[in-house]
Amino acid sequence: MKITLNLSPPASARDRYALAWAIPATILGLTVLIVLGRASLQEYRDYRAIQSQLEEVQTRTAELQNQEAAIHRKLEDPVYRDLLHRAQFVNKLIEQRTLSLTEVSARLAGLLPQDAHLTGLALSSPKQPGDDYGVRMGITARNEDAVETFINDLEDSPDFKDVSILNQGFQEESSQPEQVNIVCTARYLPGTDVNAEKPSAEEPKANSK
């Protein structure tokens, strides 16, 4: 007859409680470990992506710095420096030739007699560099003398040249005397000062002896 002896001490309630929770705790630990592993893997991938983008930015920055250095070296060359000065000079000339309708109106207003006023104004830009601006204007005057005075002053003005009359007509109104309407064109030469004061007719002239 075979006799089997169990020499291990009997399991206590504490041991049975620990054994009962061992399997769920192991499963929970494995689950947390898997989640942490996936999060760490995703963070590593994000880090690699950011590092790759940073390397691209650094490479592009280095290329731009090299291009800037090459441009500086070219600008230090006397040939390119002279070209830069020429370009700056041309840009200043272009800025000086920029004008507006207000500027041209101010110059025409100084030439109009009291019996005439401006009814229309149009500017045409130069077709080629170095050409003058074209001006088309409409004038209404009380009589032909005022028109003639304006045309003569316009031709004598250093700001305008090649004055030509395109159209001339008369307008009769019951409440006003006969009026003269003209349309003329001219070439405008900007450059003189609009605010330059002209000598007044009332100022006494110097006696020449």
Domain check: are 179 and 109 in the same one? yes
DSSP result, 141-168: ESSHHHHHHHHHHHHHSTTEEEEEEEEE
Number of domains in the chain: 2
- At 38-52, the pLDDT tens digits run 888 889 889 989 999
Residue type, 156: D
Domain check: are 19 and 92 in the same one? yes
Q: Which domain holds residue 112?
A: 100-188
Residue 84 is predicted with a pLDDT of: 78
- At 78-126, the pLDDT tens digits run 777 777 788 887 776 666 555 667 778 888 888 888 888 888 888 777 7
Residue 46 covered by a domain: yes
Domain check: are 91 and 39 in the same one? yes
DSSP result, 171-204: E--SSS--EEEEEEEEEE---S-TTPPPPPTTSP
Domain check: are 92 and 115 in the same one? no
Beta bridge partners of 140: 117, 181
| pLDDT band, very low/low/confident/very high, at 198 (cuts 50, 70, 90) | very low
Residue 206 covered by a domain: no
Instruction: Kindly report the pTM of this predicted structure.
Output: 0.41
- At 53-77, the pLDDT tens digits run 999 999 999 999 999 888 888 777 7
Residue 177 is predicted with a pLDDT of: 59
Residue 92 covered by a domain: yes
Assign residue 180 the CATH number of its domain. 3.30.70.2830
